[in-house]
Amino acid sequence: MTGSTGSLSGRHALVTGGGRGIGAAIARRLLADGASVTLLGRDAGALQATVQALREVAPAGAVVSFVTADIADADSVARAFAAAAEQSGPVSMLINNAGQAHSAPFLKTNAALWQRMLDVNLTGTFLCTQAALPAMLDAGWGRIVNVASTAGLIGYGYVSGYCAAKHGVIGLTRALALETAAKGVTVNAVCPGYTETDIVRDAVANIVGKTGRTETEARAELAARNPQRRLVQPEEVADAVAWLCQPSAAAITGQAIPVAGGEVMAG
């Protein structure tokens, strides 16, 4: 990694779902700005592999580590945040990136699937934010960035639970931004469109399996929602997150920013 700006030097960022995809890209980008980074997830093997890769490119003085947790379990989250603080100091930047999507028609969305979408995508964001916020308030400085989705801004068919949860994340973002506006803590959301991640690869496989389309045709179908006719790249989402974490972004709070090539025009 070259050209660390050092603008986040001395800050500690925790990225949930940090073992791959958007989370790993965010971790790499925050490291480039001098932050120490803790990855949080369930798969210790994937986290360890990503940590090793990040350590090879981390600027001098930046600490890279990981903790494991089930973000839908309050006790598990509390233990993970305590361990992260012990390793790298209080969390001053929280990136709520962990999420899960599963498609099903509404009438085939049973209560268990509905609850799982809420637990992972919304309750997990709530629990991690509750764990991180006290230290930010004590310090008088903090950044919370929730990786939502364009599904939190508009509707998509066949993912009602996911859409409902992501709409909830944006509501939480706006409410908490008002509570913390005068306390040095900003709370924002970025809302990627279809992005080159495991979730999209699963969606492509689902389309192929159910429709008989080729993988190329399925990917093109998803990319067609983006006026740029392409999938968003994880690094593009990471750049938006990193901007919101900067000290110079102190006036930006309560926003839900689409990263989607013009698919959604926020107004």
Query: What are residue 223's DSSP bridge partners?
Result: none
The packing angle between helices 124-139 and 160-180, to 10°, is 10
Active site includes 156?
A: no
**Of 42, 66, 40, whose CA–CA distance to 52 is shortest?**
66
Distance, CA of 222 to CA of 194 (rounded, Å): 7
Distance, CA of 5 to CA of 114 (rounded, Å): 43
Task: Identify the H or E element spanning 146.
Answer: strand 142-147
Distance, CA of 135 to CA of 50 (rounded, Å): 26
Contact 260, 193 (CB under 8 A): yes
**Of 133, 136, 20, 38, whose CA–CA distance to 83 is shortest?**
38
Distance, CA of 133 to CA of 57 (rounded, Å): 29
DSSP character for 154? S
- Tokens 């926020």 locate to 266
Distance, CA of 242 to CA of 145 (rounded, Å): 9
Helix (H, G, I), strand (E, B) or coil at 93: strand
Q: What is the CA radius of gyration of the chain?
A: 18
Active-site annotation holder among 156, 158, 162, 194 = 162
Which residues are tagged catalytic?
Answer: 162
